[in-house]
Amino acid sequence: MIKQRENFGSRFAVIAAMAGSAVGLGNIWRFPFVLGEYGGAAFILVYMMASLVLALPIFYAESIIGRRSRCDTFGAMKKLAPGTAWRWAGLLTIVSPLLILSYYSVVGGWSVEYLFKSLSFSFTEVPAEKIPDFFGRFISSPWQPIFAHTAFMLIVAGIVLAGVSNGIELFSKLAMPALLVLILVIVGYSLTLPGSMKGVEYLLKPDFSRLTPQAYAAAVGQAFFSLSLGVGTILTYSSYVKKDENLMVSGLGTAVSDLVFAVISAFAVMPAVFAAGLQPGAGPGLVFETLPYIFNKMGEGLPMLSTLISSVFFAAILAAALTSAISMLEVGVAFLTDEKGMKRRSATLLLAFLCWVVGVLCSLSFGSLSRIKVLGLSFFDFLDHLCSDWLLPLGGLIFTLFVGWKMSKADVRDEFTNGGTRNVRIFGAVYFLMRYVAPVGIVVIFLTNLFL
């Protein structure tokens, strides 16, 4: 059965969709607290290196496989390496994004809840000191976070149902520019708070003594997560990229947008954390505890303005989370529609439902199920670590090995250079990174995670 495959309409659409996938809670929520755990400026430097030297080549590997095959992950491996076991590797990378979506949607739900809290003046009507408690009480309560998670998942399913161009592309093109403006407003505000300069210093003055091997491993894990690598998201999106688009440019555009958003988010959050006298290493609650606190402070005397800005801000976090979440669901939907002949509608609803169920368990792991531990971690933390420390690097390893060692160099060159018309001069260096540097780097990370 030959179906017409949808395409992204323009280069802006490609970068908006890919950056939409890349820029998400990973930048605004995860990056600041991971950075806080590993000590600030030095971590940012390592992170930048990890993004450009390890993550970007893997991004290119996925792009090459995706556009070459014009298939979902499983189909791509089947098409480019027929009759081999590679397709099972493709299958693994369909399961991982669904696992990520399950817990990602819980955090997405938190942003839904916080948007409503802002709109209903909940952050301006209590004394600032009370705000951090809000978060702990909210995530451990049984129903509210599950309602919010449900709402988030329904929106994700709705957008994916609308299709690649009318859903994913359109939504990403609107949400991404808006997001940039909104975050810059918050940075501006955060920098005017008394005491915020200590936060700026924290972000600019590197303290290399905090760079343990774990910090390096965490930087790589974060880079993978943030660029949506290793689970076939970029592969699937690349299968919608037209043949005359320059893969080097769209990849670099995505990686740079992602870095810029991560660093800007750190500048939105850390100065405020220091100004508020909170701990930078506070963990996953960091953004949800500190931002409402700033908004509250800001609201003293000006509740309307504060409500407006905080609502817009949480709407922005929500938009960022949505553009990423749709990319995770799309991987599985592409697989079921391409390989199993399912209708887009049934595929979307089925997968969204399965992720919702796993998400409910993650959500409850902050409250009534908090005593149940997997390898000493709550279910939520376990999934996060399983994905960022193991599944994403494993997927990345599979993709680079595939491009570096399984595909013929001529095919790889042909795809990356658009048939020898673009990027010819840098191809050698990119190929070297994909074939040697990235796989070795990933194995080192595995060993670090295993033994330390």
Binding site for ligand TRP (CB under 6 A): 21-22, 24-27, 97, 100, 225-226, 228, 231, 233, 324, 327-328, 392
Residue 216: which region, alpha, beta or left (left: phi > 0; alpha: psi -120 to 50)?
Answer: alpha
Minimum gap (Å) between residue 283 Cβ and ligand TRP: 17
Q: Which is nearer to ligand TRP, 46 or 107 (CB)?
A: 107
| Degrees, nearest 5: CA angle 245-251-252 | 115
CB nearer to ligand TRP: give 34 or 100. Answer: 100
Strands (E), 119-257: none
Give the span between the Cα atoms of 447 and 444, in whole angstroms. Answer: 5
Closest CB to ligand TRP among residues 319, 328: 328
In whole angstroms, what is the distance from residue 452 CA to residue 385 CA? Answer: 14
| Strand intervals (E) in 303-344 | none
Contact 434, 398 (CB under 8 A): no
Shortest spacing between CB 386 and ligand TRP, in angstroms: 12
Minimum CB separation of residue 42 from ligand TRP in Å reads 21
Q: How far is the CB of 98 from ligand TRP (least distance, A)?
A: 10
Nearest approach, Cβ of 172 to ligand TRP (angstroms)?
Answer: 12
Please enumerate in sequence order all residues whose Cβ is within 8 A of that of 409, keeping only pairs 6 or more positions apart, or say none: 431
SS3 of the chain: helix, strand, coil, percent, to 5: 80, 0, 20
Q: Which is nearer to ligand TRP, 131 or 159 (CB)?
A: 159
Indicate the SS3 state at residue 340. Answer: coil
Q: How far is the CB of 51 from ligand TRP (least distance, A)?
A: 12
Closer of 146 and 231 to ligand TRP (Cβ):
231
**Helix 73-80 vs helix 303-339: angle between axes, to the nearest 10 degrees?**
40
Please report how close the Cβ of residue 254 comes to ligand TRP at its closest, in angstroms: 10
b/e map 197-226, b = 16+ CB within 10 Å:
eebbebbeebeeeebeeebbbbbbbbbbbb
Residue whose CB is less far from ligand TRP, 306 or 327: 327
Name the minimum Å distance from CB 326 to ligand TRP: 9
Largest CA distance in the chain: 69
Structure-block tokens of residue 286: 């960091």
Q: Nearer Cβ to ligand TRP, position 32 or 299?
A: 32
Position of minimal CB gap to ligand TRP: 26
3-state secondary structure 263-282: HHHHHHHHHHHHHCCCCCCC
Q: Which is nearer to ligand TRP, 146 or 391 (CB)?
A: 391
Residue type, 88: W
